[in-house]
Homo-oligomer: A and B are copies of this chain.
Amino acid sequence: MVKLYIFYQLVPYFTAQRAVLHHILIHFTAQRAVLHHILIHFAAQRAVLLNANILKFCSKCGHEVTLKPVPDDHRPRYVCDNCETIHYQNPNIVTGALPIWEDKVMLCKRGIEPRKGYWNVPGGYMENGETVEAGAIREVYEETLSKITITSLHMVYSIPRINQVYMHFLADLQALDYQLTPESTEIKLFTEEEIPWDDIAFPSSKFTLKRYFEDRKKGIRQVHLGKFEW
């Protein structure tokens, strides 16, 4: 194609040869444009299929839904064949906090799947009707029955493949008062040297711990942006 285009450039204007080449090139360019659009279409569909729950029925009227393009939108959506409701799907926030007590941080051994038995920064899905901070306080309480005071935002960490955004805060433990819960089979305060690095449940927690100890050495606090892709 490129060679043909270079050759075409060399052919003198207003000749039959050039006119023929011109038509051939336009033909290929148009084909390429069409192909390009088809690929974009499939890429968008693949993105939606990879990154969304598959919906079959409309939650409003119960009729079947179809994944299809929507006017003025950049990606296909599930649309109800009957009432035309568009069912958007968006990432979820996992909110949590690293409870701090003197030179130690609190981790919980997960009592539930996924990653049961691994150590984690307490956190969970943010709920409707709460702020990110309130969600973090609630999650820490649910997992450890301990009360915290949030002192700063520590990280925002995206995991595009599974549509999650982690937000971890740094927090002071209000008292050395915590209890096991169905969500945590063990709760422990760790110094930096004691952190069980090989048994940390999720990359987001490793990210939070590493950055926290680095910052502490430098005597600073900052918000870290991160992501996990594979």
Please give the number of chain A residues whose Cβ is less than 8 angstroms from any Cβ of chain B in the complex: 49
Report Cα–Cα, A55/B61, bound state, in Å: 9
Query: Closest CB-CB distance, A39 to chain B, in whole Å?
Result: 17
Task: Determine if B58 and A142 form an interchain contact, defined as CB atoms under 8 angstroms apart.
Answer: no
* Distance, CA A51 to CA B135, complexed state (A): 14
Interface string of A56-70 (1 = CB under 8 A from B): 111111101100000
In the complex, A90 has a CB within 8 A of chain B:
yes
Most buried by B among A47, A129, A133, A160: A129
Copies of this subunit: 2
State the CA gap A161–B128 with chains docked (Å): 8
The answer on a CB contact under 8 Å between A57 and B50 is no
Answer whether residue A192 sits at the interface, using C-beta atoms and an 8 A cutoff: no
Cβ of A131 under 8 Å from chain B = yes
Complex Cα spacing A222 to B133, Å: 17
Q: If the complex has contacts A56-B59, A60-B56, are A128 and B90 also in contact, measured as CB distance less than 8 A?
A: yes
In the complex the two chains form, is A57's CB within 8 Å of B51's CB? Answer: no
Q: Give A103-143 as 1s and 0s: 1 = Cβ < 8 Å from B's Cβ atoms.
A: 00000000000000000000001111111111000000010
- Lowest 4 CB-CB distances: which A-B pairs, in order? A131-B158, A51-B128, A51-B129, A57-B62
Known: A59-B65, A90-B127, A153-B225. 5 other contacts (CB 8 A): A56-B59, A57-B59, A131-B227, A132-B158, A133-B227
